[in-house]
Structure 1
Amino acid sequence: MSQRQIINSANITAPFRVFWQALRDLFDEFLLLTFANIIWAALSVPLFSIAYVAMVSNAALPAAAAALVGVLPAAPAFGGLYALSKRITEGRASKLTDFFAGMRTYALPAWRLYGIWMAGLALILWNLAFYAGVPGLLGGLLIGFFLYLFMLWSAIIIYAFPMMVLLEQPSLRQIARNALILIVSRPIYTLITMLLMGFILFVSSLVLVVPFLLFSVSLLAVWGVRATQFLIDDAQARQATDAEPPAPVEERGRRGQVRPK
């Protein structure tokens, strides 16, 4: 097997291995993550439900307004979830007070990060709905463009919140830059992870509902932290390997004898 085939194989299998690790974390701390998920749902679901109902009713402005207002209680809850997830993935003893401590610590950066992301998502969805009514080639091209933006925007949030808790006092610019670097450098890994997360989110929130309210968001938070940390560790390992000096090449004679130096 060539080096390129080995790399491609690792790109394909790595998201599933990270997902399995996140599932193990969920089972190991099931009660804790369930309580944290329920608190998140109590803070986030009411306004997001209003936004969803308004969106399916083609009331774009009320939907966007409800979603942006929903950022106020949801963002600190996300901060608490990701801070708790970081402790769990590190194997540290954790309790529910760590969730509330994370809410307090990351409230401000979470408001900024999630507010900008939600505003961008609302703008992308509005453009998709608008250009869906534009006939011809131009409409198709614009829909394709905004679908691509939607995929990219969805991928960014996978790494953005984890970086908020993994990096020390990162700026929004640094978070966005690092997230884009991870997406561009590992596109197959990111695509598979995003599709798996999207499938689980769709099934749990629109089909089963109960898992979404009890543990699905906690699973996605732990999964996001592990997925991001995996890529950070992989990049650092590659840099360390590239920095190693090449092995000395022995000079040999015509028949393969090593020439004395």
Structure 2
Amino acid sequence: MMQRESFLSLASITAPFRVFWTAVRDLFDEFLLLTFANIIWAALSIPLFSIAYVAMVSNAAVPAAAAALAGVIPAAPAFAGLYVLSKRISEGRASKLRDFFAGMWAYAGMAWRLYGIWMAGFVLILWNLGFYAGVPGLLGGVLIGFFLYLFMLWSALIIYAFPLMVLQERPSLRQIGRNALILVMSRPVYTLITMLLMGFVLVVSSVVLVVPFLLFAVALLALWGVRATQYLLDEAREQQVAASESAPPVEERGRRGQVRPK
């Protein structure tokens, strides 16, 4: 298991920025391919998610939730295709658009379940935040704080969940959830900085500029997620190797506890 990081660790602060820059270089290395993939994702995902957003702004909670959950059907396989493509690019493998479609097909079932569960939880958390915002007094404040914490945790989990789906060998939903939670809790500073940076990029690209979101921003986030997850997995393996090499040799003993000669 990974060791808990120090909140004042310089590596914990600088690592997310280094991982981000690596993802940016990956994007420009395969810019045309990732732009086509991003446009396909946008064509499949944006219509229903746009309806959900408009309904939410209009305080129509039930239609917004229904549209968001329905949006999982086309969006989840498209996300899977982006993450499979991102994995191949991060490994330096030659990639084509057919790899995007192959990823959609291969991981559609897992992506539907994974993204469906996450979206249902996300909608439920937002509904509770909206409900308890109208509750006055200390109780309302405590409950809002609790669901804000859940919102941050739930948002952090998706950073690692989709990459784990393609990085691990045929993982189950339970394994993905467990491992994503371990990564979040074992590296809180790294995760928090990554989440804030991703949130900033997402807001700027989708609300302020719009065009990058349609062309390449989601592909960048997928590359970034794969790189961020792989960084932590590599770090965990290095720690395990270092721990095994530094561990003292175990003495082999006989039935009554005597040490056997080598």
TM-score (norm. length: structure 2):
0.91
Query: Which aligned pairs between 1:1-150 and structure 2 lie closer than 5 A?
Result: 8-150=9-151
Change in 2 beyond 3 A, CA 1:246/1:169: closer
How far does residue 245 in structure 1 lie from its aligned partner after superposition?
A: 3.2
Q: In the aligned structure 1, how far is the partner of 2:79 from the partner of 2:172?
A: 17
Query: Which aligned pairs between 1:156-167 and structure 2 lie closer than 5 A?
Result: 156-167=157-168
Q: In the alignment, residue 185 of structure 1 is paired with which amino acid?
A: S
| Preserved contact between residue 159 and residue 195 of structure 2 (Cα < 8 Å) | yes
Deviations 1:137-170 (A, max 9, x none): 1001000000000000000000000000000110
Q: In the aligned structure 2, how far is the partner of 1:56 from the partner of 1:136?
A: 26
Quick one: percent identity of the two aligned structures?
79
Map of 2:254 onto structure 1: none
Map of 1:190 onto structure 2: 191
Consecutive unaligned residues in structure 2, runs of 5 or more: 250-262
Q: In the aligned structure 1, how far is the partner of 2:6 from the partner of 2:188?
A: 16
Q: Secondary structure at the match of 2:99?
A: helix
Q: In the aligned structure 1, how far is the partner of 2:179 from the partner of 2:248?
A: 32
How far does residue 247 in structure 1 lie from its aligned partner after superposition?
A: 8.9
How far does residue 192 in structure 1 lie from its aligned partner after superposition?
A: 0.2
Give the aligned length.
245
Q: Secondary structure at the match of 1:106?
A: helix
Q: Secondary structure at the match of 1:92?
A: coil
- 1:214 maps to 2:209: no
Q: Secondary structure at the match of 1:110?
A: helix
Consecutive unaligned residues in structure 1, runs of 5 or more: 249-261
Q: In the alignment, residue 59 of structure 1 is paired with which amino acid?
A: A
Q: In the alignment, residue 69 of structure 2 is paired with which amino acid?
A: L
How far does residue 227 in structure 1 lie from its aligned partner after superposition?
A: 0.2
Deviations 1:88-124 (A, max 9, x none): 0000000000000000000000000000000000000
Q: In the aligned structure 2, how far is the partner of 1:174 from the partner of 1:20?
A: 29
Q: Secondary structure at the match of 1:134?
A: coil
Map of 1:178 onto structure 2: 179
Q: In the aligned structure 1, how far is the partner of 2:216 from the partner of 2:124?
A: 29
Q: In the aligned structure 2, how far is the partner of 1:245 from the partner of 1:192?
A: 32
| Preserved contact between residue 7 and residue 189 of structure 2 (Cα < 8 Å) | no
Map of 2:256 onto structure 1: none
How far does residue 7 in structure 1 lie from its aligned partner after superposition?
A: 7.4
- 1:205 maps to 2:206: yes
Find runs of 4+ consecutive structure 1 residues off by over 3 angstroms. 4-7, 245-248
Q: In the aligned structure 1, how far is the partner of 2:181 from the partner of 2:54?
A: 32
Q: In the aligned structure 1, how far is the partner of 2:8 from the partner of 2:183?
A: 16
Q: In the aligned structure 1, how far is the partner of 2:185 from the partner of 2:55?
A: 34
Q: In the aligned structure 1, how far is the partner of 2:144 from the partner of 2:98?
A: 45
Q: In the aligned structure 2, how far is the partner of 1:225 from the partner of 1:7?
A: 25
How far does residue 234 in structure 1 lie from its aligned partner after superposition?
A: 0.1
